[in-house]
């Protein structure tokens, strides 16, 4: 007799690396699905945006001085997917903790909206810099729950793969090799360890290398000082541009905001630079409506002289802790009568790892090249240097899905 699908342990591994979305034309092709209402799905995207700010504030409270980086759409989608394998009470608990009950949408429609929101980052025309995949590894002796399997495939764009978890070390190697192969070698050792009683693994990754460009052709890259705080300064590659940029001030955040244009993609990127000494105040007061108001200011541009660091960030989060921050504790309660990881059995193991990696550099620049014009004083140029900690928010303009949110303290994780 086979074991119930959710009777043993669960390991969820969400690998997030630098994202490269598709072009607008590709998006339009992907969204040709008459069963999905984009307007309704924007309610889900808005909810993800709002809760991601709440989650960020909690992360910032726990880590006052380090880098923070995560992909809200990937983290929230991973948690939402868990509700597919839960009973009614637990499924309701998870979705309510994610505030999806406030959308007014039935549970089935919420999951269908993730199909809409995730599709652009799962599928792209080849060849493409986009590499994204989600796979569920199920122990070959387990009986599958049809609702979960169908939902994983159809709604969350995941493959179902049978694997023998009896030898946990070998299973870990198989999963790591699988991820290495599918990611074209860009993700190594996805699984660091695996408990002997693990019977389910979900591996989810997305890779993107962003290229920033400036239409003025006035740009250069030089090694310059970056101030980490507490009197510490390091040298990092800084992109220097002079030209028309979307640069504006948000007074109630005591911050300058820069919006970058990313090559051939329909994405809005915000760099938020708090005034000196105001970072914690900004983090505590930040809300998603701030970003909605910022978006309305993107019709305004001004001549600016900018220094922004090249980025190469990598952050790993224990998603179990993330769920606890969101109030999803029932899943980890041994007294619960049902959960995604057990079915009237003793709790075994539950491990969740989320990795986010983001790289951004300047397209076509050469170290030390300087083609910028010399200002004779006749033009009012705003000088802004992102040479100290700042916040970053990246959003898909097509469906409003939040792709990245974080705090940049050390732009290249230098020691």
Question: Where are the domains positioned within the chain?
Answer: 3-209+313-358, 213-309+363-408
More confident residue, 270 or 187: 270
Tell me what pLDDT residue 211 has: 72
The size of the chain, in residues, is: 415
Most confident of 43-52, 71-80, 227-236, 345-354: 43-52
Tell me what pLDDT residue 159 has: 84
More confident residue, 87 or 334: 87
Phi, psi of 89 (to 5 degrees): -65, -45
More confident residue, 246 or 143: 246
pLDDT at 347 over 50: no
pLDDT at 170 over 60: yes
What is the residue whose two structure tokens read 């916040």? Answer: 391
Tell me what pLDDT residue 16 has: 43
Least confident range of 169-173, 270-274, 360-364, 402-406: 360-364
> Do 190 and 152 touch, CB atoms closer than 8 A?
no
Tell me what pLDDT residue 403 has: 86
Most confident of 19-28, 81-90, 353-362, 396-405: 396-405
Least confident range of 126-130, 134-138, 266-270: 126-130
User: 301 falls in which pLDDT band (50, 70, 90)?
Assistant: confident
Q: What is the pTM of this model?
A: 0.84
User: 202 falls in which pLDDT band (50, 70, 90)?
Assistant: confident
pLDDT at 204 over 80: no
Tell me what pLDDT residue 272 has: 96
Least confident range of 96-100, 186-190, 314-318: 314-318
Q: Give CA–CA dist 340/348, Å, rounded.
A: 12
Sign of the dihedral defined by the CA atoms of residues 362, 364, 370, 376, in that order: negative
Tell me what pLDDT residue 129 has: 59
Least confident range of 217-231, 242-256, 340-354, 396-410: 340-354
Q: Between 3.10.100.10, 2.60.120.20, 3.50.50.60, 2.30.39.10, what CATH number should domain 213-309+363-408 receive?
A: 2.30.39.10
Residue 298 Cα distances to 106, 240, 302, 390, angstroms:
34, 21, 11, 19
Question: What's the mean pLDDT when you consider all of the chain?
Answer: 78
Tell me what pLDDT residue 376 has: 54
Contacts of 378 (CB under 8 A, 6+ apart): none
Q: For residue 201, which of 321, 389, 42, 350 has the smallest C-alpha distance?
A: 350
pLDDT at 370 over 50: no
Domain boundaries 3-209+313-358, corresponding CATH code: 3.30.497.10
More confident residue, 241 or 99: 99
Region 193-212: what's the mean pLDDT? 77
> Do 290 and 250 touch, CB atoms closer than 8 A?
yes
Tell me what pLDDT residue 246 has: 86
Tell me what pLDDT residue 138 has: 81
User: 367 falls in which pLDDT band (50, 70, 90)?
Assistant: very low
Q: Give CA–CA dist 84/90, Å, rounded.
A: 10
Q: For residue 270, which of 345, 188, 212 has the smallest C-alpha distance?
A: 212
Q: Which two tokens stand for residue 413?
A: 């994780």
- End-to-end CA, the chain: 53
User: 67 falls in which pLDDT band (50, 70, 90)?
Assistant: very high
Region 335-346: what's the mean pLDDT? 39
Tell me what pLDDT residue 15 has: 46
């Amino acid at each position: 007799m086979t074991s119930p699908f959710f009777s043993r342990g669960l390991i969820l591994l969400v690998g997030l690396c630098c994202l490269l979305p598709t072009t607008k034309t590709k998006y339009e092709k992907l969204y040709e699905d008459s069963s999905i209402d984009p307007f309704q799905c924007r309610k889900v995207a808005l909810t993800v945006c709002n809760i991601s700010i709440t989650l960020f504030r909690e992360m910032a409270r726990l880590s006052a001085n380090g880098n923070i980086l995560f992909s809200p759409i990937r983290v929230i989608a991973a948690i939402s997917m868990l509700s597919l394998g839960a009973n009614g009470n637990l499924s309701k608990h998870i979705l309510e903790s994610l505030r999806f009950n406030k959308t007014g949408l039935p549970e089935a429609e919420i999951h269908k909206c993730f199909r809409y929101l995730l599709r652009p980052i799962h599928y792209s025309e080849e060849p493409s810099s986009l590499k994204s995949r989600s796979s569920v590894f199920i122990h070959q002796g387990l009986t599958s729950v049809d609702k979960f399997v169908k939902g994983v495939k159809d709604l969350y764009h995941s493959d179902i793969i049978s694997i023998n978890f009896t030898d946990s070390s070998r299973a870990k190697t198989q999963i790591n090799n699988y991820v290495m192969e599918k990611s074209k070698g860009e993700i190594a050792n996805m699984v660091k360890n695996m408990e002997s009683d693990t019977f389910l693994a979900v591996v989810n990754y997305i890779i993107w290398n962003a290229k920033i460009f400036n239409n003025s052709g006035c740009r250069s890259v030089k090694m310059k000082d970056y101030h980490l705080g507490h009197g510490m300064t390091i040298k990092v590659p800084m992109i220097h541009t002079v030209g028309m940029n979307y640069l504006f001030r948000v007074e109630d955040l005591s911050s300058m905001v820069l919006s970058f244009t990313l090559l051939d993609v329909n994405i809005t990127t915000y760099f938020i630079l708090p005034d000196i000494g105001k970072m914690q105040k900004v983090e505590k007061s930040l809300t998603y409506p701030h970003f909605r108001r910022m978006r309305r200011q993107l019709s305004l541009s001004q001549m600016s002289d900018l220094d922004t660091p090249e980025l190469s960030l990598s952050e790993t989060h224990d998603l179990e802790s993330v769920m606890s921050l969101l109030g999803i504790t029932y899943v980890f309660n041994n007294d619960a009568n049902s959960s995604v990881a057990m079915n009237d059995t003793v709790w075994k193991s539950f491990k969740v790892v989320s990795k986010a990696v983001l790289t951004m550099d300047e397209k076509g620049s050469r170290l030390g090249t300087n083609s910028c014009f010399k200002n004779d004083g006749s033009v009012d140029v705003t000088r802004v240097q992102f040479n100290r900690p700042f916040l970053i928010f990246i959003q898909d303009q097509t469906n409003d899905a939040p792709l990245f949110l974080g705090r940049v303290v050390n732009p290249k994780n230098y020691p």
